[in-house]
Structure 1
Amino acid sequence: MRTRLRLLAPLVLSTACASVQSPSAGAPSSPVNSSSSERPFGTLREQAERQQSWLRERMDTALPQLMRKHGIEMWVVPMREYNEDPVFKALSAPTTFAARRRTIYVFHDRGPEKGVERLALGGGSQGGIFTPRRAQQQVSQGGQGLRQAELWGPDQWLVLKQVLEERQPQSIALDISRTFAFADGLSHGEYEGMAEALGPDWVNRFKPSGGLPVDLLAWRGADEVRFYEDETKLAWNIIETAFSNQVITPGVTTTQDVQWWMRQRLTDLGLDTWFQPSVSVQRQGATEEQLGDNPVIQRGDVLHCDYGVTALRLNTDTQHMGYVLREGETDAPEGLKVALKTSNRLQDIVFEELRPGRTGNEVLKIARKRMTDEGIDGTIYSHPIGLHGHGAGAMVGLWDRQEGVPGNGDHPVMANMWYSIELQATSTVPEWNGQRVRSAQEEDVVIDAEGRVHWAWKRQTQFHFVR
């Protein structure tokens, strides 16, 4: 109870404003522009208008390019309410939260001049993105005549069959994959119902959609990049406040106190996260087992957090390091600063090797060789990010698969996508009697249309300090 009382004052102070000046030794973060301190990204209506423009750009620009890149003439995406295909996030308007009963999206590439036709068999137009096509029947209104009722059962498969017969595609791509979860959204029940209704002639034209849903989910437009900088700034801002005396009182505050403050902060802003924040401690002379699951933060501790913000369906993923200054200290010990610089150097290597056209496994192999050649004891486990936290695209290692990730890691990196450069470097710290300290960092990057890599905002090069 004492801990909760001591935390109450900083909690109220911090929730009073969305942007707080940085308490760290580095340059202060820029506050997120906002007409209201509790609405860092505007009203829900303003957010939805912005998201709708992103959807329009994705459908008008990215979809035709990607269908032709993957050699897909027709792409059919059926789903049922609350059992949506993972690609649904890339296809639906911000005011649509689930598929309508059964929704079947049909994309037909009619060539560069006519473009890609977009049909919705069931559900709405998603703000004018799709042309709806309905299966309807006449139903009685209790003596008040007849009305049209939308059907969503087997009749929708018959409408799909009509669409196929009218367009006569040579092949029909479906989201079936043993490699990518993002390309494996067609449920077994939907496949059986569709195959039964369409018949063997059409079933023989089925083929996997391959990397199309993966790349469509990964693709990001220019205004999304502009928004992402502000979202990343907000993530930084919250971490800077969490790793300061506004939230932490050495000898009193526990790591779980900080975790819950970080999560509550997002809820107070009307935002969300895609995973429970984590905060951990490394302490001179103490093992992880000795510290336990919820240690009280003490002076001299090295802090680490893993934190994600979800806003306008887009996700951040950030890991930063902090240090609790001892009495009389004005900076971290030199050995700890070297440890942070070492993980920064590993960030440089991955940043430089992350190039469109290379597979994730190729990036990993080249980066690990450079890491080893430079004598860095590290691990690389970077991943795409965007509409999902662990997003669609090529993995660049897993913490337990440093030799490469079969299948998923063989997918190529592309332009117009985002990555979380996630890694760790372990260093010996002389001031801690040679104890090894793990500097784990994660920072989001943008790969632009020309294939150049940029930090979404910036990266951490100095500890956040609790004084």
Structure 2
Amino acid sequence: MFHVFPFLQIATVFLGVVHAQIHPSAPARYVTLPSLRDQAAIVDNWRDERLENIPVLLNKYSVDAWLICQRENAEDTLWWSVKGATEYAPHRRTVLLFHTNTSSLAGQPNPMRWVDNTGDVWAELTSIFKTYKARRIALNTDKEVAFGGGLHVGEYEALAEELGERWLDLREVNEPMLAVEYIAARVPGQLPYYRDLQETTWALIGEGFSEKVIAPGITTTEVTDFLAPVMDVEWWLREKMLLLNVTTWNHPRVSVITPDSFPGWAGTKNVIQEGDLLHVDFGITAMGLNTDVQHMAYVLRTSENETDALPGLKVGMQKANRMQNIVLENMQAGKTGNQVLKECLDQMAAEGIQGQIYSHPIGDWGHAPGAVLGFTNLPTFVPILGELPILRNTYYSIELYAYHFVEERNETLRFRVEENAFWNATTEKWQFVYGRQEQFHLVNATRRAETRPLFVVQP
């Protein structure tokens, strides 16, 4: 059962506990990224800066060498975080060898790289291992952590056959945290561009959840009939992204929030009406970075002269904001995801908040490596990934929902929010990259420009 308190009492409680307003004071704008040529140089510099930490990581896990073996169209997951900006796939068989930069390999490229389709690479690797006297050689063979398990079976068999018992059977080790820590780590230069991507994500939502795109009674969340003469919000977002020279890692999911609507990771197929509470979940991709944002909008009943969202909806938003604060306050580096999750749930219970947390790392991937805080189907404890430690110098998607009974609608709804946060090395605290939603996007049909064609995607 959900706790139902008098509305005024709830409003007083949550207005008192929500932190200072961090909803951006100005409307989000579309930020122009550097040219593709300049982006490539910037991204390669970030990669080189991250690669410099490889010897430190290897020493941390007592590994002498880290061997990546892959073929075109059968890439190791790690490849996408070590490749050059203008590389789109490994060629032939591409072998990478990371080392600790000591003794015989001091001054050698890190990683060393071979592109081979003749078999010569095996003799060279054997010679290097003999000279280097590598005792512990890491392979990405983990069966639980995807980022540490990117070695394909065929490549493993080739390594076993070519390098033999001496170099694999007796020295092979599995250290998935090598890949987790390398891929998850951010460098300072990424943050300004990541903020720009966040602002562009907000701008997309702000325009998509406005009267510029939505006409109540006509527009749909997702297209219901391909022969229909109007565009839906999901595909408007996809088209608009292309004009901004960004792409996405997941299709936008737009839905009308109702007491029964939590349709997994799909949108709904609704004609949007006045009084609807809308939700979107999506992110954009550019410069090797990904965003992941969930916002809500309210469609004003302009036919009834309504000018703002219902008070009960605002309190629901405040509950979700309070949950975000709780997560950020408890996410201390070194704790496991499950430890943080339990602390958050205990604090929510103490404050009388009901909801669910399912936060995750983000960065090179939309769902990046590292500790997760809950899954939608595992709300209190996540095996394996929940037992990983929270890492510094990473980004997180603070993703969750709060339940709230909206008295004006006589409904208990899920208030679903998500914003991206970064580890501030100066304060040693987490903070939102761009801000967070604390006010509903409002769709006001009376402001529709009469001269603007419906659903035209403007550059």
Is the structural similarity TM-score above 0.5?
yes
Structure 1 position 426 matched with structure 2 position 385: no
8 A contact 1:415–1:447 mirrored in 2: yes
Q: Out of 79, 86, 89, which is 2:77 matched to?
A: 86
Which residue in the other structure is 2:211 paired with?
245
Which residue in the other structure is 2:60 paired with?
69
For 1:128-139, list aligned pairs within 5 A: none
Counterpart code for 2:136: S
Q: Out of 190, 194, 201, which is 1:235 matched to?
A: 201
Q: Out of 93, 104, 107, which is 1:102 matched to?
A: 93
Q: Out of 254, 263, 267, which is 2:242 matched to?
A: 267
Distance in 2, matches of 1:212 and 1:54, equals 18
Structure 1 position 455 matched with structure 2 position 432: yes
| Structure 1 residues 389-410: Cα deviation after superposition (integer angstroms, max 9, x where no partner) | 0111111110111221111111
Q: Out of 37, 42, 47, which is 2:39 matched to?
A: 47
Structure 1 residue 359: Cα displacement: 0.9
Q: Out of 25, 28, 35, which is 2:26 matched to?
A: 28
Counterpart code for 2:421: V
Distance in 1, matches of 2:409 and 2:150, equals 50
- With the length of structure 2 as denominator, give the TM-score of the two structures: 0.84
Which residue in the other structure is 2:312 paired with?
335
| Structure 1 residues 226-247: Cα deviation after superposition (integer angstroms, max 9, x where no partner) | 1111010000000000000011
Q: Out of 179, 184, 189, which is 1:218 matched to?
A: 184
Distance 1:350 1:172, change over 3 A: same
Distance 1:308 1:30, change over 3 A: closer
8 A contact 1:100–1:122 mirrored in 2: no
SS at 2:271's partner residue?
coil
Structure 1 residue 198: Cα displacement: 1.0
SS at 2:43's partner residue?
helix
Distance in 2, matches of 1:174 and 1:217, equals 16
SS at 1:225's partner residue?
helix
Counterpart code for 1:156: V
Distance 1:376 1:115, change over 3 A: farther
Distance in 2, matches of 1:236 and 1:64, equals 38
Structure 1 residue 83: Cα displacement: 1.1
Which residue in the other structure is 2:121 paired with?
156
Distance in 2, matches of 1:283 and 1:230, equals 32
| Structure 1 residues 333-364: Cα deviation after superposition (integer angstroms, max 9, x where no partner) | 11110001000110110011112111111111
Structure 1 residue 287: Cα displacement: 6.9
Question: What is the percent sequence identity of the aligned residues?
Answer: 39
Counterpart code for 1:45: R
Counterpart code for 1:254: T
Distance 1:251 1:411, change over 3 A: same
Structure 1 position 396 matched with structure 2 position 373: yes
Which residue in the other structure is 2:8 paired with?
none
Distance in 1, matches of 2:324 and 2:189, equals 26
8 A contact 1:121–1:159 mirrored in 2: no
Which residue in the other structure is 1:145 paired with?
none
Distance in 2, matches of 1:171 and 1:350, equals 38
Root-mean-square deviation (CA), in Å?
2.0
Distance 1:246 1:64, change over 3 A: same
Distance in 2, matches of 1:82 and 1:283, equals 43
8 A contact 1:107–1:116 mirrored in 2: no
Structure 1 residue 89: Cα displacement: 1.6
Distance in 2, matches of 1:166 and 1:375, equals 63
Structure 1 position 408 matched with structure 2 position 385: yes
Structure 1 position 309 matched with structure 2 position 275: no
Which residue in the other structure is 1:196 paired with?
161
Which residue in the other structure is 1:436 paired with?
412
Unmatched runs of 5 consecutive residues or more in structure 1: 1-24, 34-39, 124-150
Distance 1:111 1:365, change over 3 A: farther
8 A contact 1:29–1:233 mirrored in 2: no
Q: Out of 167, 171, 178, which is 2:132 matched to?
A: 167
Distance in 1, matches of 2:394 and 2:363, equals 8
Unmatched runs of 5 consecutive residues or more in structure 2: 1-22, 223-231, 445-459
Counterpart code for 1:53: N
Distance 1:287 1:80, change over 3 A: closer
8 A contact 1:121–1:156 mirrored in 2: no
8 A contact 1:271–1:311 mirrored in 2: yes
SS at 1:371's partner residue?
helix
Distance in 2, matches of 1:104 and 1:248, equals 51
Distance 1:164 1:58, change over 3 A: same
Distance in 1, matches of 2:70 and 2:385, equals 24
Distance in 2, matches of 1:422 and 1:287, equals 17
8 A contact 1:26–1:462 mirrored in 2: no
Distance 1:421 1:197, change over 3 A: same
Structure 1 residue 164: Cα displacement: 1.1
Distance 1:414 1:26, change over 3 A: closer
8 A contact 2:55–2:99 mirrored in 1: no
Structure 1 position 446 matched with structure 2 position 422: yes
| Structure 1 residues 83-135: Cα deviation after superposition (integer angstroms, max 9, x where no partner) | 11111122111011111111111111135995785243424xxxxxxxxxxxx
How many residues in Structure 1 have an aligned counterpart in Structure 2? 405
8 A contact 2:24–2:435 mirrored in 1: no
8 A contact 1:54–1:223 mirrored in 2: yes
Counterpart code for 2:340: V
SS at 2:250's partner residue?
coil
